[in-house]
């Protein structure tokens, strides 16, 4: 399994090589990110493509995790929900995306995810696509969570009656309630250098 750090370095065409996308007429041939964003209604016309900071950010540092999350745009919110079929709540959405894109199983609740061992705190000014972003929306810390996608925006399952969508963290509502961010930083295991240790029987997993 590749760690999130490596996934963030993948170029877009590799990250989307196996994604089930349908080409949009206005999208340049071979640009799967643009096809995805247009399919989801984020880029209605070709004239908006090059001018969009979000497109540039996603194209430059697109990861399997972020693109996986975008595939669920429009899925309805459901309290306690943890699948696309039944709907997602905020932490059910982040848990599902992390588990199915990078194999990292997060705790069920948003506040537990914020305290998960192995997730590193990230300053707001250093956010990268794929980071978890947390908000105080219920008068308690870390009561809401989403996934940063770039250009100051995040994707999340918002509330009852809503659906998975992308919003701007710079809007006053979210800016006032931002609690912090976390990044999964799983180191790559060193490769065996001799046939003697290739079996790895004494290497911690």
DSSP assignment of 130-167, as one string? Answer: T-EEEE--SSSTT-EEEEEEETTEEEE--STT-BSEEE
CA proximity to 161, closest of 89, 85, 94, 84? 89
Residue 118 and residue 151 in one domain? yes
156 is catalytic: yes
Please pick, among 13, 22, 90, 100, the residue that the annotation labels catalytic: 90
In this structure, is the dihedral angle defined by the CA atoms of residues 60, 61, 62 and 66, taken in order, positive or negative? Answer: negative
Mean pLDDT to the nearest integer, 143-169: 96
Question: Domain of 146: which CATH number?
Answer: 3.90.1720.10
Q: What is the pTM of this model?
A: 0.66
Residue 100 and residue 171 in one domain? yes
Residue 86 and residue 162 in one domain? yes
Residue matched to tokens 């707001």: 124
Is 75 inside any structural domain?
Answer: no
Question: Which pLDDT band, with edges at 50, 70 and 90, does 4 fall under?
Answer: very low
Which of 189 and 161 is assigned the larger pLDDT?
161
What is the overall mean pLDDT for the chain? 75
The Cα 143–Cα 129 span in angstroms is: 21
Residue 58 and residue 89 in one domain? no
Residue 169 and residue 87 in one domain? yes
Per residue in 101-135, pLDDT (tens digit) is 888 999 999 999 999 988 999 999 999 999 999 99
Last residue of a domain, one of 70, 100, 125: 70
Question: Which pLDDT band, with edges at 50, 70 and 90, does 57 fall under?
Answer: low
Q: How many CB atoms lie within 10 A of CB 66?
A: 26
Total of domains in the chain: 2
Mean pLDDT to the nearest integer, 57-73: 74
Is 200 inside any structural domain?
Answer: no
Residue 97 and residue 177 in one domain? yes
90 is catalytic: yes
Alpha-helix runs per DSSP H in the chain: 4-7, 12-15, 32-39, 53-61, 64-70, 90-102, 110-114, 172-177
Question: Which pLDDT band, with edges at 50, 70 and 90, does 84 fall under?
Answer: very high
The Cα 105–Cα 150 span in angstroms is: 23
> In the predicted model, is pLDDT for residue 22 greater than 90?
no
Question: Residue 25's domain spans which residues?
Answer: 4-70
> In the predicted model, is pLDDT for residue 204 greater than 50?
no
Question: Which pLDDT band, with edges at 50, 70 and 90, does 64 fall under?
Answer: confident
> In the predicted model, is pLDDT for residue 49 greater than 50?
yes
Residue 13 and residue 65 in one domain? yes
Confidence (pLDDT) at 47: 57
100 is catalytic: no
> In the predicted model, is pLDDT for residue 21 greater than 90?
no
Last residue of a domain, one of 40, 70, 100: 70
Which of 69 and 17 is assigned the larger pLDDT?
69
Residue 182: its H or E element:
strand 178-184
């Amino acid at each position: 399994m590749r760690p999130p750090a490596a996934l963030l370095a993948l170029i877009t065409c590799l990250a989307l090589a196996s994604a089930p996308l349908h080409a949009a007429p206005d999208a340049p041939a071979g640009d799967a990110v643009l096809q995805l964003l247009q399919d989801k209604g984020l880029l209605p016309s070709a004239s908006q493509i090059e001018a969009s900071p979000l497109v540039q950010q996603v194209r430059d540092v697109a990861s399997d995790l972020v693109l996986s999350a975008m595939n669920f745009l429009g899925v309805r919110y459901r309290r306690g929900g943890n699948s696309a079929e039944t709907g997602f709540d905020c932490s059910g959405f982040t848990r599902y995306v992390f588990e199915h894109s990078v194999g990292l199983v997060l705790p069920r609740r948003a506040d537990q995810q914020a305290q998960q061992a192995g997730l590193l705190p990230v300053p707001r000014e250093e956010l990268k696509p794929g980071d978890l972003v947390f908000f105080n929306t219920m008068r308690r810390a870390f009561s809401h969570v989403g996934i940063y996608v770039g250009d100051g925006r995040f994707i999340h399952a918002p509330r009852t009656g809503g659906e998975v969508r992308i919003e701007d963290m710079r809007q006053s509502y979210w800016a006032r309630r931002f609690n912090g961010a976390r990044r999964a930083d799983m180191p790559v295991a060193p490769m065996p250098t001799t046939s003697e240790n290739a079996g790895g029987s004494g290497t911690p997993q």
